[in-house]
């Protein structure tokens, strides 16, 4: 199991934040800042991302859930609030099914539980491109999926966040990025979701073209008692609207 890089800040009950494919823990800067007065926020880099070591060869979302459980086991004494977006949201689903003893609640944002053959073919095309040419050729398309046009053009901070996260994506090694894409392409989380019993909040982005709202609706429908909320954002809703995202989390946790 690879060594995971993490950052811990704040005070209070422990919250774990799990980032999207091709990002790193800095994706959560705005949300972490909004939570740290009331919660201890632990955010980490997935294997092969940011400053975490890569694993040799292929792996699955179950492996990422096991990585997260191992980190929680090392850093927590009680179950945690686990928040995942996109790849992190897939990790959250698998974690809730595989390691329920470590999860007090789940938040699954801008994510999916299953891909059909057409989508898997699209993922394979991206893998082929990255292995042949590196990550840079797919970066512009990623920015268009991750953020709304107005956020990308926003001179008051949006465009700077976009540039910073684009740099993170382009710094991701092709092999680990492709391995993560393959893990995502082959998710089949519905059966596990039917076993999740902890309180769960699902967050959709109303303008998310990477994981459209219907995917969030399917996740919410598949987890007993899950709540569904929506933000006016594209795929990286937690970056585009960190205060609104954090408000959904705080309201959800306070109601428990």
Specify if 167 maps to a domain. no
Confidence band of 230 (pLDDT split at 50, 70, 90): very high
User: What is the pLDDT, as a whole number, of residue 103?
Assistant: 98
Specify if 110 maps to a domain. yes
pLDDT (tens digit, 9 = 90+) per residue, 240-250?
Answer: 999 999 999 99
Calpha distance 153→34 (Å, rounded): 24
- Which residues have CB under 8 Å from 125's CB, separation 6+? none
Specify if 240 maps to a domain. yes
β-pairing, 40-44 vs 14-18, is: parallel
User: What is the pLDDT, as a whole number, of residue 239?
Assistant: 98
pTM value? 0.98
User: What is the pLDDT, as a whole number, of residue 79?
Assistant: 98
CATH number at residue 104: 3.40.50.1820
Specify if 208 maps to a domain. yes
For residue 245, give its domain range.
6-114+189-254
Average pLDDT over residues 62-74: 98
Specify if 50 maps to a domain. yes
Specify if 34 maps to a domain. yes
Calpha distance 92→2 (Å, rounded): 18
User: What is the pLDDT, as a whole number, of residue 119?
Assistant: 97
Specify if 233 maps to a domain. yes
Confidence band of 1 (pLDDT split at 50, 70, 90): confident
pLDDT (tens digit, 9 = 90+) per residue, 136-150?
Answer: 999 999 999 999 999
Closest CA to 162 of 144, 188, 176, 180: 144
Q: Is the CB of residue 19 less than 8 Å from the CB of residue 28?
A: yes
Calpha distance 63→126 (Å, rounded): 22
Q: Is the CB of residue 35 less than 8 Å from the CB of residue 249?
A: yes
Specify if 81 maps to a domain. yes
Split into its structural domains, the chain has a count of 1
Calpha distance 91→236 (Å, rounded): 16
């Amino acid at each position: 199991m690879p060594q995971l890089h993490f950052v811990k800040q704040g005070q209070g009950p422990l919250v774990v934040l799990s980032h999207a494919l091709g990002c790193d823990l800095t994706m959560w800067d705005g949300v972490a800042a909004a939570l740290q007065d009331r919660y201890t926020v632990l955010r980490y880099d997935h294997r092969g991302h940011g400053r975490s070591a890569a694993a040799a060869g292929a792996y699955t979302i179950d492996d990422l859930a096991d990585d997260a459980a191992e980190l929680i086991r090392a850093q927590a004494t009680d179950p945690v609030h686990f928040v995942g977006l996109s790849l992190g949201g897939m990790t959250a689903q698998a974690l809730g099914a595989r390691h329920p003893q470590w999860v007090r609640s789940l938040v699954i944002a801008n994510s999916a539980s299953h891909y059909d053959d057409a989508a898997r073919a699209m993922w394979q095309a991206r893998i082929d491109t990255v292995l042949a040419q590196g990550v840079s050729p797919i970066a512009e398309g990623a920015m268009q999926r991750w953020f709304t046009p107005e956020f990308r053009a926003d001179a008051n901070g949006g465009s700077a966040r976009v540039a910073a996260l684009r740099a993170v994506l382009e710094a991701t090694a092709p092999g680990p990025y492709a391995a993560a894409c393959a893990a995502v392409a082959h998710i089949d989380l519905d059966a596990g979701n039917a076993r999740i019993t902890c309180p769960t909040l699902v967050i959709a982005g109303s303008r998310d073209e990477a994981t459209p709202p219907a995917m969030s609706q399917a996740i919410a429908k598949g987890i007993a008692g899950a709540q569904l909320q929506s933000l006016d954002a594209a795929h990286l809703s937690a970056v585009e609207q960190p205060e609104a995202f954090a408000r959904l989390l705080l309201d959800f946790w306070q109601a428990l």
